[in-house]
Structure 1
């Protein structure tokens, strides 16, 4: 048996899954400290299992992305770039919002090093520079560093050597490497690495808190966190790469929608309590964003799902003047206190759903006074906005199937323009937690190769095998691993037949790993 948990802005969902069967579900209100909500959600499943029968627990959490958005709990971080005498025109943090930069200290250092696209050295690494940097960051109380070397995706040698020098001078220093986090594009890769480094201390605290919350329920099974590509990572990996959890909530919903509906190629619309997330599935996995991703005003380029989010959900505030407007503000986890159906004084989308007979929650008599024209107008407004977002996600004019999931999906009536069919599967309100519970383990390769014509197949096979090996090392059952994506992009602006190769492999979790 597996337990899947998803922490949303309004609700924390938990499900008990055995194979392809959903045995029990529970929805609890998300709490300010998050951990309490997890304990309550898992407690709601206790009637259906014995703690010893649980073999794994999978959690999708918003802890880390919320910390960046709110600028809280971030560690004092140093950004060390290896590239002198190049790259001086645009130093680290050059495009960061000042408030976020100040929250992590904004300590930036430029040192010699780096490589060209073909592996040639820009300038040798200077150990004396790095020792001086180590002394300075120690004086400033910095606990975490982000090391970025020019074209480290071609050669990671300088990043690793720099880390050896720094940690020898400052024992206990937490190091994040850009070649392990970002992709091509120096500033975006560096930014992603800095964000990861700033979350490392918080990751230690949250990992310990999650273990304690499960121990309180008598559960000693291994704990895994959902990644933003629909796969899992163990707790030790999460301590090192917390940035990989960003957007894991929408990803879990999409994977859960595919699992529940049996549809691997479709659009998934997840209507939650606070937001609606729309994404595309291909071969059962989310389509990845092909361009840069903005995180709290910072441009990054690490792996993220291609998801459109709008401020529309069950907790969205409804306004009638000067025209009908739903959201983007939401009562969030305060829905049970502020919505009309619970005796509150705020008109929400949930109240409209109850008045329309689409949902049975709270006290329906408290919304009988709502005008029928208002109710229809709100539902039409919701349908039109979702239809517009689905249309933007399409890559062809052909109608496509849509899977509706999330507790707020009751707001969407059947019949969306441009859609071939709507599927609202059983347990759709818990698709996010189910997506976490059934997630697999993945491995990925994404770097630049020199593609000599006679060796092209050999290089692609090597990339595939490396992705498979990474999946197995991450905890996948070797017999179940398969390649789900292979992409080769020739880099015409670089000489030497250079190509960017991306390969992804996934496999079932090997329990007892």
Structure 2
């Protein structure tokens, strides 16, 4: 048996799945500020046979929330290898002031870096790095982010620079290296690395809180965190790479929607308490955002689903003229909504008044005019349909799967989309998505592709991605390639092509026990960025 848990901003959801992937039980509990008590309450409500649980998969938005709020972030020393180039735009140049102030804005530009084919851009200068280390030590910074030009093509400079800095700094200093986190594209990859370094201390706290919650209900099975792309990472990798969890919430919901509906290709509308997230599933996995993504207004290029969010949820405020959102009562829904004895008209009140949901006390909304309720719900349906239409890439018929506790606001048919499905257990699709999370292996590299050798190069990349998934703990025979991206780089010579291959497989708990102790670079979700 497996347990899936999703720690959201309003609720913590849990689902118990059997070895045959049947959903055996579900539970929902309010999210708490300490995380532990909310997860513990959800697990106690789930009441699993703890001796039969083989693994626990958890998704959380805690790290993203910390970045958005600009709180609980550690100060970071950002070391960039790229001089004499790259000096025009120092690290964190375009960051919002709140986030920049939270991490300290400490930047160090040094020589080093590579060309796309691995040739040195400029020689690494050990003495220069030692001078940077002296200043880092003087400022008592204990988290360092190292980025280098084209490190996904050649990681040697980042590793060597980290060795030099580590020898000069206090024992226990954390290092985040950009080639382990991002893709080609210096500034966005550097930003992701700095964010990751700022979250390292918080990651330790959150991982310990989750472990404590499981211990309180006597669950001794290993637990893992879900990543942005719908694959798993072990707790060691989570401590080292917390930034990889940023989009795990919508990813889990979309994966859960595919599993519960049986559809691999569809649109997903996930309606929570505050927002509705709209995304597209292809082959059972969320379509990934092309190029850069943004987190709290900061450009990054880590893997993230292509999601369109709008301010419509179960807790959204409804104005006197029938407009819904974007403001929401959030986790105070059970205190402020009319059906719960409050004084605020919310989208949940509309759903209860229209007979779409049976929560709270319906007698509290009998005075809502039928015409007003219908008009407000029609506006919600129109905005959701418009969002789905913006996300699809063709005019072909596209089924829509509605999930999340607030999806009662989604009608049985949307304008332009007649096939709307709301599967069983739709309200905990995020927890189900966490429970079915698989192990991934990825290659993202700039290759030289000689004339007539394209097929051979692609085959080699596929084999490497599959091998990475197996090494990370995937069950032999279950690994498959789910995505191949091939982008010729016309501005580079010699047939240079960026190739990205992603492979996934089912988690094998018996094998992952060994993988987890080898350290984060070889744990669940291991990737190749050579």
Provide TM-score, normalisation by structure 1.
0.98
Distance (Å, rounded) in 2 between the aligned partners of 1:113 and 1:227: 31
Equivalent pairs counted in the alignment come to 509
Distance (Å, rounded) in 2 between the aligned partners of 1:190 and 1:176: 10
Distance (Å, rounded) in 2 between the aligned partners of 1:391 and 1:298: 27
User: After the TM superposition, which residues 390-469 of structure 1 pair with which residues of structure 2 at under 5 Å, given as runs?
Assistant: 390-469=388-467
**CA-to-aligned-CA distance 1:263-314 (integer Å, 9 cap, x gap):** 0000011111111011101110000000311111111111110001111110
**CA-to-aligned-CA distance 1:118-145 (integer Å, 9 cap, x gap):** 2211111011111111121111121111
User: Equivalent residue for 1:173?
Assistant: 173
User: Equivalent residue for 2:97?
Assistant: 98
User: After the TM superposition, which residues 312-391 of structure 1 pair with which residues of structure 2 at under 5 Å, given as runs?
Assistant: 312-320=312-320, 323-391=321-389
User: Equivalent residue for 2:39?
Assistant: 38
* Preserved CA contact (<8 Å) 1:400 1:418: no
Distance (Å, rounded) in 1 between the aligned partners of 2:204 and 2:451: 47
**Structure 2 residue 179 is matched with structure 1 residue 206:** no
Secondary structure of the 2:400 match is: strand
Q: CA RMSD in A?
A: 1.1
User: Equivalent residue for 2:24?
Assistant: 23
Secondary structure of the 1:452 match is: coil
Shift of 1:420: 4.5
Distance (Å, rounded) in 2 between the aligned partners of 1:423 and 1:25: 20
**CA-to-aligned-CA distance 1:370-411 (integer Å, 9 cap, x gap):** 111221111111101100100000100122111111111111
**CA-to-aligned-CA distance 1:138-168 (integer Å, 9 cap, x gap):** 1112111111100111100000001111111
User: Equivalent residue for 1:262?
Assistant: 262
The answer to which of 450-459 and 50-59 deviates more is 450-459
User: Equivalent residue for 1:112?
Assistant: 111
* Preserved CA contact (<8 Å) 2:59 2:249: yes
**CA-to-aligned-CA distance 1:212-251 (integer Å, 9 cap, x gap):** 1110110111111111111111111111111111111111
**CA-to-aligned-CA distance 1:57-109 (integer Å, 9 cap, x gap):** 11110110000000111111111000011111111111111211110111000
User: Equivalent residue for 1:240?
Assistant: 240
User: Equivalent residue for 2:54?
Assistant: 55
Secondary structure of the 1:147 match is: strand
Shift of 1:418: 2.1
Mark the runs of 5 or more structure 1 residues left unpaired by the alignment: none
User: Equivalent residue for 1:218?
Assistant: 218
User: Equivalent residue for 1:509?
Assistant: 507
* Preserved CA contact (<8 Å) 2:225 2:234: yes
Distance (Å, rounded) in 2 between the aligned partners of 1:415 and 1:208: 44
User: After the TM superposition, which residues 66-85 of structure 1 pair with which residues of structure 2 at under 5 Å, given as runs?
Assistant: 66-85=65-84
Shift of 1:20: 2.1
* Preserved CA contact (<8 Å) 2:35 2:210: no
Distance (Å, rounded) in 1 between the aligned partners of 2:466 and 2:237: 17
* Preserved CA contact (<8 Å) 2:95 2:298: yes
Distance (Å, rounded) in 2 between the aligned partners of 1:420 and 1:376: 19
* Preserved CA contact (<8 Å) 1:3 1:58: yes
User: Equivalent residue for 1:482?
Assistant: 480
Secondary structure of the 2:13 match is: strand
Distance (Å, rounded) in 1 between the aligned partners of 2:60 and 2:118: 38
Distance (Å, rounded) in 1 between the aligned partners of 2:80 and 2:107: 8
Distance (Å, rounded) in 2 between the aligned partners of 1:469 and 1:132: 41
Distance (Å, rounded) in 1 between the aligned partners of 2:8 and 2:393: 29
Distance (Å, rounded) in 2 between the aligned partners of 1:175 and 1:194: 10
Provide TM-score, normalisation by structure 2.
0.94
Distance (Å, rounded) in 2 between the aligned partners of 1:501 and 1:15: 37
Distance (Å, rounded) in 2 between the aligned partners of 1:31 and 1:407: 18
Shift of 1:24: 0.7
Mark the runs of 5 or more structure 2 residues left unpaired by the alignment: 513-530
User: Equivalent residue for 2:192?
Assistant: 192
* Preserved CA contact (<8 Å) 2:266 2:282: yes
* Preserved CA contact (<8 Å) 1:10 1:273: yes
Shift of 1:50: 2.1
